[in-house]
Amino acid sequence: MTLSVHRLDPDLRPTLVAHFLSLSPADRHLRFGTGLAPRVIAGYVERIDFNRDAVFGVHDDSLALVGVAHVAFDGERAELGLSVLPEHRHRGVGDALFRRAVAHARNRGAPEVVMQFLSTNVPMRLIAQRFGMDIASRGTEAYARLELLPASTLSIAIELVTDAVTLVDRTLKALVAGWRNGLGEQARPL
């Protein structure tokens, strides 16, 4: 699987809901800090402001959404939430989503990125540690903070090139998936 992280648009809300609902109850608890009913998750996705916030995704070769990063902006503050389906963990998906989300926040002038997660969420703690975030635990909650450099011409250019490459990757995956589906239909007996 090629790790290409692209920005999701509001038309993919149903896919985003399906991604969150495909997480086990324990994983949903880790992602949201509490167990949420499907209707609450659907409401959360419906309330995402795609003009203010950014939602990034990684799709596998069959275009299934396997990882998501939500960068929520509140003024200058950028808060990041991540989720990766279990069968795609330990393949760099979370790291790729984190890098892309941080680049986006930096290039929008955010001075820092923060993450809030349960102290028991070992994968999030490991990502925070890997990227040098300051981590503070208070009871059942952990808070991670990463100061960002100001945007530069180079960081903006890299983001633009990354988006262009990602668009090509997604287009190729869609063509291959369409070709496979078409071939499958032709190969079926009448």
Q: Report the SS3 class of residue 135.
A: strand
Contact 81, 72 (CB under 8 A): yes
First to last CA, the chain: 33
CB distance 104 to 54 below 8 Å: yes
Distance, in Å, from the CA atom of 110 to the CA atom of 51, rounded to the nearest integer, reads 16
Q: What percent of the chain has pLDDT over 70?
A: 95
Which residues span the domain enclosing 37?
A: 5-187
Q: How many domains does the chain have?
A: 1
pLDDT above 80: residue 41: yes
pLDDT at 188: 35
Mean pLDDT, residues 114-140:
95
Helix (H, G, I), strand (E, B) or coil at 58: strand
Find the angle CA(186)-CA(4)-CA(109) to the nearest 5 degrees.
145
pLDDT number for residue 175 = 87
Instruction: Specify the CATH number for the domain of residue 153.
Output: 3.40.630.30
61, two tokens: 């070769």
Q: Where are the alpha helices (DSSP H) in 55-138?
A: 93-107, 122-130
Tokens matching residue 79: 């808060």
SS3 for 7?
strand
- The answer to whether residues 145 and 133 touch, using CB atoms and an 8 Å cutoff, is yes
How does residue 117 score in pLDDT terms, banded at 50, 70 and 90?
A: very high
